[in-house]
Structure 1
């Protein structure tokens, strides 16, 4: 496993489009064993099911530790009169792990791309989220760390901002009256 993780780290320094395409398929619903076999093939390493399971566990563990400042903001928002939803490009297996985390309990809705076979910035995933939360796009404020996802949300009618960290988000939310100082 260390060999493939080391090669993956080295590989990520190369043009990332191929890696991003592989990850997009995984985030869009591809089974973990297929994803890791494809990653292994690009790296010249055979990935069997036991190794795929270990890689999946390591991948999930790497994503389950949110920024403490973001968690503080989430705590503030829990007491605000707002509905919170998480829309994540993430495999279904990550979704199941995230659902067991304390920090996700602050969200009324969790939507993981791997569960619906759609990934941001596909406009259908934003519309699906709006349907699930029962809100109009103009009523929503969407944050994302990728400009293409922010643009797509805006094109769907949402107010959307690039995530620049919890302090910047808190400031914007205060300006909009979503939270009070």
Structure 2
């Protein structure tokens, strides 16, 4: 007898630094040259200060890049900056893709939950890797951003599954903590992580919270 879909596990993955690798120093240098702003990769830079609002769909590309650059940026230049930004987040983590393909071949249910601005979504939506996921959730479309509990509640409702039947993989300790607080089996991913081993580790309730 086939299992009821509501009793089957979902594997929910973040995109940046999980499916993709981090931007290279050369990527950041190219974006810095185009914006005229140095050290954009720093957590205190204007790139990150306004990223939450951009990921949430609260800012247009023109508005976001104007804030990053500290001066008005028109549609043509902001479109170019979006392309550079898309490119630097498009480097695939090949080891992650191998694991995803294996999970897909086994018939597991895969979903993506990413904080991602609309301009980037439009570029990535038809990328080959998206075919591995049955459901795609993007912050800019939902107007919700991790680690808000609301975005996880939305995903759980859409997947029609209980929290303990979702294994969530993310590189942000804050996002992992938020998911754990809702009863989701959340796993903290790092560049050195062996994803297969991470997924086969004991459930969250049976192991200590991972340190950053």
Classify the TM-score, shorter chain.
0.7 to 0.9
Between 1 and 2, higher relative CO (CA 8 Å, sep ≥ 6) is seen in: 2
**Distance (Å, rounded) in 1 between the aligned partners of 2:158 and 2:63:** 29
Match of 1:179 in 2: none
Shift of the alpha carbon at 1:144? Answer: 0.5
Please list the CA deviations of residues 151-176 of structure 1 after superposition, one character each: whole Å capped at 9, or x if unmatched.
Answer: 00111110101112485220132346
- Equivalent pairs counted in the alignment come to 173
Q: TM-score, normalised by structure 2?
A: 0.73
Distance change >3 Å, CA 144–CA 73, structure 1 → 2: same
Q: RMSD of the TM alignment (CA)?
A: 2.3
Deviation of residue 127 (structure 1)?
0.8
Cross-structure match for 2:23: none
Q: Tell me, in whole angstroms, the C-alpha distance in 2 between the residues paired with 1:3 and 1:65.
A: 18
Please identify which structure carries the higher helix content.
1
Counting only pairs closer than 5 Å after superposition, residues 31-180 of structure 1 correspond to structure 2 as 31-41=60-70, 45-165=71-191, 168-175=194-201
- For residues 16-44 of structure 1, give each alpha carbon's deviation from its aligned partner in whole angstroms, at most 9, with x where no partner exists: 17543301110000211111111111xxx
Q: 1:123 to 1:17 in 2, by over 3 A?
A: farther
TM-score (norm 1): 0.85
- Listed as ranges, the gaps of 5+ residues in structure 2 are 1-29, 203-212
